[in-house]
């Protein structure tokens, strides 16, 4: 517990949130915007042909996921401080987090697209991979 109150972890966690949010915003607003619009537009609030996000809620979710990934990867690094460990834990954690959300939606939201489920799980797994990499290098940087 003491580690998670340390200046090293607090810096890593803060920067992890910023990096995660930037990557997710790029993903949602540029890379996958058309895909989500095509498959999820019927569920979304649309203004001027664009999906409108509830920004405070969306950012809250992104912060929670980013902090969770930072904690999970950091715990693994306390056991074995290698890039491989960070990547494996990041990938696994991202996969589990996004599977939980997407498979829950698929199980009970009428018409929830299988394509979005697959794409989103792959994106979450990639976010976990990125998280493993930047948490490892940020921890190394702030620990020296």
The predicted model scores a pTM of 0.92
Q: Give residue 100's pLDDT.
A: 98
pLDDT tens-digit profile, the chain (144 residues):
899 999 999 999 999 999 999 999 999 889 988 898 888 877 878 788 777 788 899 999 999 999 999 999 999 999 999 999 999 999 999 999 999 999 999 999 999 999 999 999 999 999 999 999 999 999 999 999
Q: Give residue 41's pLDDT.
A: 77
Q: Give residue 40's pLDDT.
A: 82
Q: Give residue 121's pLDDT.
A: 98
**Domain ranges within the chain, ordered by starting residue:** 2-143
Q: Give residue 95's pLDDT.
A: 99
Distance CA 101, CA 65 (A): 11
Nearest by Cα to 129 from 4, 9, 23: 23
Beta-strand pair 45-47/50-52: antiparallel
User: What is the DSSP annotation of 93-138?
Assistant: HHHHHHHHHHHHHHHHSTT--HHHHHHHHHHHHHHHHHHHHHHHHH
Q: Give residue 52's pLDDT.
A: 78
């Amino acid at each position: 517990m003491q580690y998670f109150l340390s200046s090293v972890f607090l810096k890593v966690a803060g920067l992890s949130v910023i990096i995660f949010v930037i990557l997710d915003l790029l993903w949602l607003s540029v890379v996958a915007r058309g895909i989500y619009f095509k498959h999820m537009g019927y569920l979304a609030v649309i203004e001027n042909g664009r999906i409108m996000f509830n920004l405070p809620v969306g950012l809250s979710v992104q912060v929670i996921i980013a902090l969770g990934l930072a904690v999970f990867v950091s715990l693994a690094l306390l056991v074995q401080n290698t890039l491989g460990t960070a990547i494996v834990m990041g990938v696994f954690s991202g996969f589990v987090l996004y599977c939980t959300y997407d498979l829950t939606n698929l199980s009970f939201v009428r018409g929830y697209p299988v394509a979005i489920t697959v794409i989103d799980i792959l994106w979450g797994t990639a976010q976990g991979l990125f998280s493993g990499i930047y948490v490892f290098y940020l921890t190394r940087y702030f620990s020296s």
